[in-house]
Chains A and B, each alone.
Chain A
Amino acid sequence: MNATSSTVQIKGLRDSLLVALTGETWEENQSALLTQIDERASFFQGARLVLDIGTQALGVDEMVQLRDLLSERGISLWAVLSESPKTEKTAQLLGLATRLSNKPRVEEKRPSAEPVGEDAALFLSKTLRSGTRIEYPGNVVIFGDVNPGAEVVAEGNVIVWGRVRGVIHAGAKGNRQAIICALDLSATQLRIADEVSATLKPQKNPRPEVASINKDGRLQAELWQPG
């Protein structure tokens, strides 16, 4: 299903609506979107919305306002796609998805266990607080903690120079060679490919650990050994 207006392009996806906003300013985009929705209320009602807003940089204020306006209309904002790093950060902070790839679809060309290039890494120098969700199609390096209620989903490896108490999913597209390492892995949950760890016990004197899938095919964390 396709529909177009000057600045709002709507495309039906399997389980959501993809709306691309191509207007010059954010005000223009937002009001065009709301006009579309108000004119075709029944079409949008209850929809899960994926917004593609191109290069526009949105702050928390603007995105929260939009999310509220949408939820007042019975629409839940599920993902925001953007080429702007600021917008992407904002969406992550609000726990919105930032790509569509986390549910692999049949028509996707990419083989599911394609190894991730060694050069692709996202470096974050901050603590991820509750409600934050980071998704990245490569390796993720975090200089800071991953707090309870935060989530990291990476297609490659995840390295945390800090404490992990949130959820980490490495090899999210099926790479069973992926590893997770951290200075303290007392996570609520670790996942590598489709293996899920049993809850790990918080340690009194945490030591660096490496989690991987062992020979028996189980996710296991081991103390890091120098050399």
Chain B
Amino acid sequence: MTAKVVTITSGKGGVGKTTAVANLATALAADGKKVVCIDGDIGLRNLDIVLGLENRIVYDVVDVIEGRCRLRQAMIRDKHFEQLFLIPAAQTRDKNAVSPSDMVRVCDELRPDHDFILIDSPAGIERGFRNSIAAADKVLVVTNPEVSAVRDADRVVGILEAEEKYAPALILNRLNPAMVKSHDMLSAADVLDLLAIQLIGIVPEDESVIVGSNRGAPVALEPKSRAGQAFRNIAKRLQGQEVPFLDLDKQDGLWGRLQRLTGGRK
């Protein structure tokens, strides 16, 4: 077994990276995969809260890097899945406590015993971002259908593409089909048209996401949640399966166009 390292990042903050990591990790674990998530947002940790694990933190990733504990000791087991672990970020340190080569070392140590390592990156293109992508085999860029978020995503994609090793793919989060219809929101086609990269999933705006985050129970656990279904589909696509996109919007043959834009690419 050698884990695939997937980093979830964005240009703009608050677009749903942490939500995506928690849900993808949960969905992958539900599919029987061995998964570790690493919170790369040093100083602003919150993946532990979204996973409902904040009370169990003793050590964090900086403790591992600085040798105050062994890797195993910093891995917190999930409440729902035996095979899912979290390595939390340090709350009281800043991003300078970690270097890209530290992240590569930690991931290399985890790779043999896991199927997926998911890294929650801070927003932007500064040091925390460099740390988070250093070990990545694949990078998922999250954006919302908003002009400013898309422009920042474009910047990140440009930087990832220049390095030719991360194969960036897009998660379009918080799409609201009703708002797209009334032309109050960019459509998925508008976003893809500009970013022109592989689309790995579209997640609808869904109140249950917020409820789930506050409760520490990701919506990927809820069979009926639309957003949960979207995250489960992305998890399947990460495992190399072909899953059709959710039919969020049947208007104008737009969906057909979308399928063509992304069809066949994985």
Residue numbers of A with Cβ under 8 A of B are 59-61, 64-65, 68, 89-90, 93-94, 127, 129-132, 147-149, 165
Contact = CB atoms under 8 A, between A and B. Distances in A.
Contacts of B60: none
B158 interface: yes
B194 A65 contact: no
A93 B130 contact: no
Interface string B131-167: 0000000000000000100011011011101110000
A127 B196 contact: yes
Given A90-B162, A93-B162, A61 B154 contact: no
A65 B130 contact: yes
Contacts, number: 46
Contacts of A129: 154-155, 157-158, 161
B125 interface: yes
Contacts of B163: 59-61
B94 to A, nearest CB: 11
Nearest to B160: A60
B126 interface: yes
B151 A130 contact: yes
A133 B199 CA distance: 26
SS of B interface (majority): helix
Interface in B153-191: 154-155, 157-159, 161-163
Contact of A89 (B126, B151, B154, B162): B162
B155 A149 contact: yes
Interface residues of B, number: 18
Contacts of A61: 100, 130, 163
B194 A147 contact: yes
Interface in B90-148: 100, 125-127, 130, 147
B191 to A, nearest CB: 12
A129 to B, nearest CB: 3
Interface string B174-216: 0000000000000000000010100000000000000000000
B195 to A, nearest CB: 9
Given A64-B125, A90-B162, A93-B162, A130 B154 contact: yes
Interface in B27-54: none
A132 B126 CA distance: 16
Given A61-B163, A64-B125, 20 more contacts: A59-B162, A60-B162, A61-B130, A64-B130, A65-B130, A68-B127, A90-B162, A93-B158, A94-B159, A129-B157, A130-B152, A130-B154, A131-B155, A131-B158, A131-B159, A132-B158, A147-B154, A148-B147, A149-B151, A149-B154
A189 to B, nearest CB: 15
Nearest to A67: B126
21 contacts: A59-B162, A60-B159, A61-B130, A64-B125, A64-B130, A68-B126, A68-B127, A93-B162, A127-B196, A129-B154, A129-B158, A129-B161, A130-B154, A131-B155, A131-B159, A132-B158, A147-B154, A148-B151, A148-B154, A149-B155, A165-B194
Contacts of A147: 151, 154, 194
